[in-house]
């Protein structure tokens, strides 16, 4: 498959598409328009918590893989889709490196607006998934084949520099989202995970900006022993409660930073006790300070 030059214009540059057949294969990718572009040679990257400031349409082409998205684990098989909203924390938790084959479509609100004008409300689909905290879409086999075909067609048309490709690309991706919309309209999306965990994650999200949010306050709210809660959370999610809270606070902070909030307001709105604590955790997680982070991540997908 042809590798695209970074200068290729793709549907007004409001989306990018990448296919990788192994974890080390950079595949067909446009790093110029990808704020989260990184070196694919380090397997640990995929096992680390991360987020994006754009939407991610993840189409899995391997045999089996496990992902953590917004606090819940999802097991993916060939043709399964994750539709992940911006600033949603996720990571892969289990997969054979040789089996990590996928196509990733990244897009912004501008593409959503274009599809709204075409009569498809993608935002409502994302909202439903977010409410259920269930981002896994499992189409029937024929639907999986159709989505795979449309994504492959999009990649080949880009690589071949096909004439009038903007209309074709728009139609290809519209077809993918229409298949998902039809499936979700016919099937009730339900999160079958532990309801207590669901409520606990919602409680954390609702109280991220509060400095009082802690192991003790969560344990009190759910009438649990704090030591039991600590083990329960780690067993279900795979990371300690304190790190889950701090990482999601940092994600919230990056959102405020990208909206040009003053740094002192960012610290307060994100629930950190003081600037020094915020700065230390920020550098620890992202290997750069807030100013460096902003400069680096303002050069990705256009808004």
Separation of CA 177 from chain center? 17
Tell me how far apart the alpha carbons of residues 189 and 198 are, in angstroms, rounded to a whole number.
15
Q: Tens of pLDDT along 49-64? A: 999 989 999 999 999 9
- Of the candidates 31, 3, 1, 21, which has an alpha carbon nearest to the alpha carbon of residue 102? 21
Say whether pLDDT at 45 is over 80: no
Percentage of residues in the chain having pLDDT higher than 90: 53
Domain ranges (residues) in the chain: 15-186, 195-297
Average pLDDT score over residue span 172-198:
83
Q: Tens of pLDDT along 188-246? A: 666 667 889 999 999 999 999 999 999 999 999 999 999 999 999 999 999 999 999 99
The highest-level CATH class for domain 15-186 is mainly beta
Average pLDDT score over residue span 12-25:
64
Choose between 262 and 170: higher pLDDT. Answer: 262
**Domain 195-297 carries which CATH code?**
1.10.10.60
Average pLDDT score over residue span 92-111:
87
Q: Tens of pLDDT along 126-143? A: 988 888 888 999 999 999
């Amino acid at each position: 498959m042809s590798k695209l030059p970074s200068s290729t214009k793709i549907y007004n540059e409001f989306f990018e598409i990448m296919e990788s057949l192994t974890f080390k294969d950079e595949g067909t990718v446009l790093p110029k328009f990808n704020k989260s572009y990184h070196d694919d040679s380090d397997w640990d990257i995929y096992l680390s918590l991360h987020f994006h400031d754009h939407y991610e349409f993840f189409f899995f082409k391997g045999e089996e893989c496990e992902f953590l998205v917004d606090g819940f684990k999802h097991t993916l098989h060939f043709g399964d889709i994750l539709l992940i909203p911006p600033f949603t924390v996720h990571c892969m938790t289990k997969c054979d490196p040789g089996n990590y084959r996928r196509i990733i479509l990244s897009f912004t609100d501008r593409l959503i607006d274009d599809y709204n004008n075409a009569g498809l409300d993608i935002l409502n689909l994302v909202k439903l998934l977010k409410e259920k905290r269930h981002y896994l879409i499992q189409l029937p086999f024929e639907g999986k084949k159709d989505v795979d075909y449309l994504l492959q067609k999009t990649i080949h048309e880009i690589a071949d520099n096909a004439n009038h490709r903007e209309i074709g690309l728009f139609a290809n991706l519209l077809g993918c989202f229409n298949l998902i919309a039809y499936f979700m309209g016919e099937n009730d999306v339900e999160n079958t995970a532990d309801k207590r965990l669901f409520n606990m994650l919602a409680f954390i999200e609702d109280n991220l900006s509060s400095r009082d949010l802690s192991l003790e306050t969560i344990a009190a709210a759910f009438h649990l022993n704090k030591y039991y809660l600590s083990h329960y959370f780690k067993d279900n999610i795979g990371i300690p409660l304190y790190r889950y809270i701090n990482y999601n606070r940092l994600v919230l902070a990056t959102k405020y930073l990208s909206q040009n909030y003053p740094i002192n307001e960012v610290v307060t709105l994100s629930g950190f006790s003081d600037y020094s604590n915020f700065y230390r955790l920020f550098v620890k997680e992202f290997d750069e300070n807030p100013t460096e982070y902003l400069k680096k991540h303002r050069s990705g997908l256009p808004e």
